[in-house]
Amino acid sequence: MKKHIDPVQNHAFSEPHELIHIDCASHVYPDGSIGIHDLCFRVKENEIVALCGANGSGKSTLLEHLNGLLLPSKGNIYVMGEKIDSTTKKDLWKHVGIVFQKSDDQLFAPTVLDDVMFGPLNLGMNRGEAWNAAMEALRAVGAEKFINKIPNYLSGGQKRLVSIAGILAMKPKIIALDEPTSDLDPKHAEIIENIICELKENHGISIVLATHDLDLAARIADRICIVKGGSVIAEGRPSDIFYNVDLLEDAGLKEPKIVQVYEALCEFKKIEIKRKPVTVEELVKSL
Ligand SMILES: Nc1ncnc2c1ncn2[C@@H]1O[C@H](COP(=O)(O)OP(=O)(O)OP(=O)(O)O)[C@@H](O)[C@H]1O
């Protein structure tokens, strides 16, 4: 069993770049299912961290712990240095926003503008401030043209953009996205991928991404966490994690396509795997 670190005692925790620290011995759902056990997870400032794991490995359960939607059955969560419990969790939306996998779980107001203004109004902004925050967020994701539309009638890709805007309008430090590119065509998936990168680069927001798309994770993540059986079983740079075939197999995953191509090329040319490219650009340079 992993040793549980008390974050207050943990020297690393006092470093300013750590925004979230989860030390969760267990999360047990009411029906007795185990969502998380022996899990330690951190989010640092200005990073994209990808949670990669098979179906049912615990990625969504972990995401929902980031902003107090779920609390550990046993263990602690610290967000921006504050311990989260049933009384402090209600303020977490100021810091951590979650974009759900199904946009329909998030969108409910009569118009897109109302929907995106809802969060800022709820945080106490007046209508003018909330309008400004909503419009700024909608412009950032290229969805300002939808302001008068009924959210329910938008396409899947448009709903995803509006969902991200709704979270961005609250100006969080961290945004967690559950399968942000699932069910999208390649063009819309690319738009969302670019937005995620811009949120980090231009807005200084840390991103936590739960995804089955290992190619996406390889392209944009600074850090990969492999999730299995409710635990983070390994973490590291994409180039280290995605060339660890045994680890990926153990987690029920397959290497990203770029890794498969590079390995096949190395085998074909009878050369050693050395450079570990994880993006097309790196692959081209490595040849
Ligand atoms: N509301 C719930 N009630 C009971 N058990 C749940 C609930 N939500 C998740 N679980 C269980 O917790 C475990 C982790 O599920 P979770 O949804 O977090 O996995 P996941 O990695 O996000 O899966 P997927 O990739 O399929 O979305 C699974 O065994 C699942 O059956």
Q: In the predicted model, what is the mean pLDDT of residues 256-273?
A: 91
For ligand 1, the distance from its centroid to the CA atom of residue 58, given in whole angstroms, is 6
Supply the pTM of this predicted model: 0.91
* % of the chain residues with pLDDT over 90: 80
Ligand 1 centroid to residue 47 C-alpha, Å = 25
Quick one: pLDDT at residue 100? 93
Question: Residue 20: its pLDDT value, please?
Answer: 95
What is d(CA 233, CA 239) in angstroms, rounded to the nearest whole number? 17
pLDDT in tens, 52-102: 999 999 999 999 999 899 999 999 999 998 899 888 888 888 899 999 988
Neighbour-count burial of 152, counting CB atoms closer than 10 A to its CB (0-12 exposed, 13-18 middle, 19+ buried) = exposed
Residue 2 is predicted with a pLDDT of 40
Q: Is the pLDDT of residue 1 over 70?
A: no
Taking the C-alpha atoms of residue 259 and residue 239, their distance in angstroms, rounded to an integer, is 9
- Look at residue 147 and give its three-state secondary structure: coil
Q: What is the pLDDT of residue 15?
A: 52
Closest ligand 1 atom to residue 64 Cα is: 18
150 has pLDDT over 70:
yes
pLDDT at 215 exceeding the cut of 60: yes
Task: Identify the band that residue 8 occupies on the pLDDT scale cut at 50, 70 and 90.
Answer: very low
Please give the pLDDT value at position 9. Answer: 39
57 lines ligand 1 (CB under 6 A): yes
Helix 127-140, helix 112-122: angle, nearest 10: 120
Ligand 1 centre and the CA of 17: distance in Å?
Answer: 30
For 190-203, what is the mean pLDDT? 95
Q: What is the pLDDT of residues 127-137, one digit of tens each?
A: 999 999 999 99
Is ligand 1 within 6 A of the CB of residue 219? no
Q: Which of 27, 61, 70, 208 to mutate to test the pocket of ligand 1 (most atoms within 8 A of CB)?
A: 61
DSSP 152: G
Residue 251 pLDDT level (bands cut at 50, 70, 90): very high
* Nearest residue to 43 via CA among 61, 11, 25, 67: 67
Decide whether any atom of ligand 1 lies within 6 Å of the 252 Cβ.
no
Residue 108: pLDDT over 90: no
Tokens of 134: 């909503």
For residue 134, the surrounding DSSP H or E stretch is helix 127-140
| Residue ID of nearest Cα to ligand 1 atom 11 | 35
At residue 86, the pLDDT reads 86
Say which range, 4-8, 98-102, 118-122, 263-267, has the weakest mean pLDDT. 4-8
In order of 144, 184, 275, the CA distances from 187 in angstroms are: 19, 8, 29
Question: b/e per residue, 98-127, with b = 16+ CB within 10 A?
Answer: bbbbebeebbeeeebbbbbbbbbbebebee
pLDDT tens column, 37-57: 999 999 999 999 999 999 999
- d(CA 245, ligand 1 centre) in Å: 25
- pLDDT reading at 204 higher than 60: yes
Q: Is the CB of 206 under 6 A from ligand 1?
A: no
> Residue 222 has what DSSP assignment?
S
Q: What domains are there in the chain, each with its CATH number?
A: 1-47+54-94+205-251 (3.40.50.300), 256-287 (no CATH)
